[in-house]
Amino acid sequence: MPSRFLILDGGLGTTLEDSGFSVSSKLWSSDPALHEAVQTVHEGFLNAGADMVSTSTYQACDSLYLDNGFNKEQASELMRGAVGIARQAISKAGTNGKREIGLSLGPFGATLSPGQEYSGYYPPPWGPQGFVLDGSNRNSFNDAEGSQSISQSISALKDFHLSRLRVYAEDEATWRAIDWIMFETIPLLREGQAIRLAVESLYRELGDRYPSNDRNAWWKKPYWTSFVFPDGKAPEGSSVNEIVQTMFAGETPDTVYPSAIGINCTSPAYIRGLTEQMSQRMAVILEESDETNLVRQSPPAFVLYPDGGLVYDVVTRTWHAPKNAPSVDSAASGEDSWARNVGQVAKWAAEQEYPAKEGSQPVWRQVLVGGCCKSGYAEIAGLRQELQ
């Protein structure tokens, strides 16, 4: 397998469902009753060719467990325990070579009911208003609410993500076991900004706990921020250029840029165009950056893990075929065509370059590629075959 590619797993929750397990409880795949099943799914993805498995922590947070009869200590133990389950799966699968663990952290919207990861309708202070069934919803602030409301929203979202990160980071063995932090299915640009602030705050805390002048100290875990694009567009209307530009703007001594940025849980029909837009904007950022700039010194990876092509209804918690997705070959169904489409887009991204004094340089340091909801073992096995 070329070093330019790292194969991710597929959709954990939907693979559990498709394997006959119920994830209908309010705890979703974080339900302790599913621990053995989760390990089995991890092993299945590893055997299919995944280089990394993602933990069953997408919705996990203190409030999720507290609202379902657990105390705070139990909540923390269960959240950290998911990392241990992934480690056990890697050990049991007996795979050749290193296999990595990604800490799955969904957006704030994944903790709401109904889930808001595809629309970003967040109640105050995280957003302008919560979701209502009559359809009069909005996910961005109006002019009357002003910049102060936006700042308060970013601060509240930062606190949410920081509180979860602390649960894992406060236990050294757990934190050492994590290879990547996966902030995924992010619907709002301001939540992406909040995530970067949360990581920067955590690393200041860890710097005090583990003093080191090493820029690559062990506790500085790489993280990615992957955005969701229902119908090929960001839910709040932010452009792809704006998203990429904002996530790599404003360097300070505390800046911790994402180690990867990209797309997940988005229809395969849209990933080529979105990948092209992200790559073009990243190339401009790198070309225009000073050689001392952090992003120039350590370019990010590109992360791509689209869904299996179906659409999720957050109210009914059911899957259905998309109504308005482009009718093109890249949207064709079936494991082989899915793997071919995703693999071809990943190859294209890996080939992108930008001009530099030392000659053409790759836009993306690496391409991390896999699947999200409704992509299973066959899709990941096909993707690995496509990239070999």
Binding site annotation covers 61? no
What is the DSSP code (8-state) at residue 270? Answer: G
Token pair 């979701």 is found at 131
Token pair 């919207």 is found at 109
Find all residues with CB under 8 Å of 91, minimum gap 6, and list them.
none
Yes or no: say if 128 and 149 are a contact pair by the CB < 8 Å rule: yes
Cα angle vertex 188, ends 254, 321, to 5°?
A: 140
Three-state secondary-structure class, residue 230: helix
Give DSSP secondary structure letters for 28-68: GGG-GGGHHHHHHHHHHHHHHT-SEEE-S-SS--HHHHHTT
Three-state secondary-structure class, residue 206: helix
- The packing angle between helices 146-169 and 72-93, to 10°, is 60
What is the DSSP code (8-state) at residue 81? Answer: H
Yes or no: say if 366 and 301 are a contact pair by the CB < 8 Å rule: yes
Binding site annotation covers 372? yes
CA separation for the pair 209, 44 (Å, rounded): 37
CA-based nearest residue to 154, from 198, 114, 105: 198
CA-based nearest residue to 75, from 36, 30, 106, 44: 30
- How many other C-beta atoms can be found within 10 angstroms of the C-beta atom of residue 142? 9
Binding positions are 265, 372-373
Binding positions for Zn(2+) are 265, 372-373
